[in-house]
Amino acid sequence: MKAGAIPPEELVQPFPSIDLPIQPPYPPAEAKSVNEIPRGPGWLYEPKWDGFRCLAFRNRKEVLLQSKAGQPLGRYFPELVAALADLPERRFVLDGEIVIFSGGHLSFDDLLLRIHPAQSRIRKLSAESPATFMCFDLLVDSKGEVHTHLPLKQRRERLTQLFRHFRSKGTVRLSPASTDRKQAEQWMRELGTLGLDGIVAKRLDEAIGLESAPPWSRSSAFAARIAWSEVFATQKKAAVLARFSWVFTTIKGYWIMWDSRPASPENSAPS
């Protein structure tokens, strides 16, 4: 039995089976907060996108999206499911972040609106404010080979090669990364302008190493995230909550909202 992010019986909605060596729910590597950007050789720096963490599974035309907490996300982002299904490579598992760009910067407000019980509302929002998948890791390649045991340097190289077959400004994009700490500092200075959530630093010589660790204790031991960005994100989400007449809760770390009105065919609790 393959390890999963959460026990299958606790899923709000179960995932259908997909013919891949990694099956959802699968636990993504997580970052540890630190007070400053790590220094020294051997680090890869990436912007921390202000969005929803997502694992994307594809086998032929079948696409599944999984949240950080191991919940299905596909129904909330139909445009991403379609875009991933249309990519020239027919098999992969990608790790990334779902974001929405609005007026040149990221909009977490628009992301929250997507977690809606009415499918008609989701379709309308997907056309008006389409989401983008920013990809930063390759877990399974187009040949069906698992890469979680490989060091990040090799995974990044193969991810870059994979994206050479994709449109550079499409719905599915390669997240930028750099070994230059000055670039990371520049991203930090642009946090407010772009709406970024911080910086993530990862060791180039480290594998994900999920296979030998028990569920719920799996994290990227050398990944780091700027601590104050956690406070920034929390304050922003709290401000968003005050603007809506919806009921919000967190299910295993994932923000969920549903309409407090009585249920109807177009108004039922989301998964």
Residue predicted with more confidence, 268 or 131: 131
Q: Is the pLDDT of residue 215 over 60?
A: no
The reply to whether 218 falls in a domain is yes
Cα 242 to its chain centre, rounded Å, is 25
Q: What is the pLDDT of residues 15-44, one digit of tens each?
A: 999 999 999 999 998 888 888 889 999 999
The reply to whether 69 falls in a domain is yes
Residue predicted with more confidence, 201 or 238: 201
Q: What is the pLDDT of residues 187-213, one digit of tens each?
A: 988 877 888 888 999 999 999 865 433
The reply to whether 13 falls in a domain is no
Outline where 14-116 has alpha helix (H). 78-85, 108-114
| Whole-Å CA distances, 5 to 8, 72, 183, 266 | 9, 12, 33, 30
Q: Which helix (H) or strand (E) holds 32?
A: strand 32-34
Distance CA 116, CA 122 (A): 7
The side-by-side arrangement of strands in the sheet containing 224-226 is 32-34, 224-226, 198-203, 43-48
Q: Is the pLDDT of residue 52 over 90?
A: yes
Maximum separation of any 2 CA atoms in the chain, in Å: 57
Helical packing angle, 78-85 and 119-128, nearest 10°: 60
Q: Is the pLDDT of residue 151 over 80?
A: yes
pLDDT for residue 100: 96
Task: Give the type of residue at 255.
Answer: W
Cβ atoms 133, 80 nearer than 8 A: yes
Q: Is the pLDDT of residue 256 over 70?
A: no
Q: What is the pLDDT of residues 115-125, one digit of tens each?
A: 998 999 999 99
- Residue 133 main-chain phi, psi, to 5 deg: -100, 115
Catalytic residues: 48
Q: What does the block give as tokens for 124?
A: 């309308």
Expressed as residue numbers, the domain containing 89 is: 28-258
Global confidence as pTM:
0.77
Q: What does the block give as tokens for 65?
A: 């999206």
The reply to whether 271 falls in a domain is no
The reply to whether 84 falls in a domain is yes
The reply to whether 18 falls in a domain is no
The reply to whether 252 falls in a domain is yes
Q: What does the block give as tokens for 14?
A: 């179960």
pLDDT for residue 32: 83
Q: How many domains does one find in the chain?
A: 1
pLDDT category of residue 12 using cuts at 50, 70 and 90: low
- CATH code of the domain in which 237 resides: 3.30.470.30
Task: Give the type of residue at 21.
Answer: P
Distance CA 4, CA 8 (A): 8
The reply to whether 17 falls in a domain is no
Worst-scoring range by mean pLDDT, 57-66, 154-163, 247-256?
247-256
